[in-house]
Amino acid sequence: MKISHLQDNRTTKEILINMFLAAVSLFINGFGVYMTIQANIGAGPWDVLNLGLSKTLGILYGTASVAVSYAILGIDIALKEPIGIAMFIDAFVVGKSVDFFNRINVIPKCDSLTTGIPVMLIGLVIMAYTQFTYMSAALGCGPRDTLLVALAKRAKKAPIGVISIALLGLATFVGWLLGGPVGIGTLICAFATGPIMQLAFTSVKFDATNVHHQHLTESVKVFIDKKAA
């Protein structure tokens, strides 16, 4: 199975279609994140931080998530990493999608490992496939992935896996200090997300390394050239 997408983003129409694809993918991705939280067995590393901030500051999860995402995006920009339009969509949509599903209470919180683990794994599968469709839009990776790559470039002697563990560990530790939920689910998210994503990408014959993500400046140039024409 392959998904047809307008990866080149050479026209305004292509960019708008892919922005819509990214937004829908990220909204559904938010449902996957929501499921991992409702599993109630410990959240993923970044969600431990988001939930910790939410609890400490008395704000919605989505508001905390958006704040963290845009802060990381700001770091990406400061480090002069390539930025795409979809990164701004990512920073906003996922967190607010979780707030939406929380509001309508689609799935009640699980009360045991027996129900919590399957719910978490299903959530991770949803996140993996929506990551594929989001990346297919070719308008930029997520702020956190971009930060990871930026840190790996600057710490040349350290393997990217070690940097990833350190980054996730820091997010988890700070989130835990703020009262975020840490548990077996945190470990599942930390160690199962990568393999599940790889299996999802393999199942749809998708090679993320072959995607050329369009930089924000390139997207703006397409829109300007369209107006000039």
pLDDT at 60: 97
d(CA 147, CA 132): 19
According to the model, what pLDDT value does residue 7 have? 60
What is the pTM for the complete model shown?
Answer: 0.91
What angle do the packed helices 45-57 and 12-38 form, to 10 degrees?
Answer: 80
The answer for residues whose C-beta is within 8 angstroms of residue 220's C-beta and 6 or more apart is none
Between 225 and 104, the higher pLDDT residue: 104
Q: Is the pLDDT of residue 170 over 70?
A: yes
Domain ranges within the chain, ordered by starting residue: 12-228
Question: Token pair of 29, please?
Answer: 């991705």
pLDDT at 226 (0 to 100) = 66
For the cut 60, the answer to whether the pLDDT of residue 5 exceeds it is no
CB atoms within 10 A of CB 212: 10
Nearest Cα to 179, choosing from 68, 71, 43?
43
What does the alpha-carbon distance between residue 29 and residue 123 come to, in Å, rounded to a whole number?
Answer: 8
CB 126 within 8 A of CB 196: no
pLDDT of 1 reads 40
The amino acid sitting at 60 is L
Distance CA 121, CA 32 (A): 9
- The pLDDT, as a whole number, for residue 2 is 43
pLDDT of residue 153: 86
Average pLDDT over residues 31-47: 97
- Kind plus residue range of the DSSP H or E element containing 38: helix 12-38
Q: What does the pLDDT look like over 57-110, one tens digit per residue?
A: 999 999 999 999 999 999 999 999 889 999 999 999 999 999 999 999 999 999
Cβ atoms of 22 and 151 within 8 Å: the answer is: no
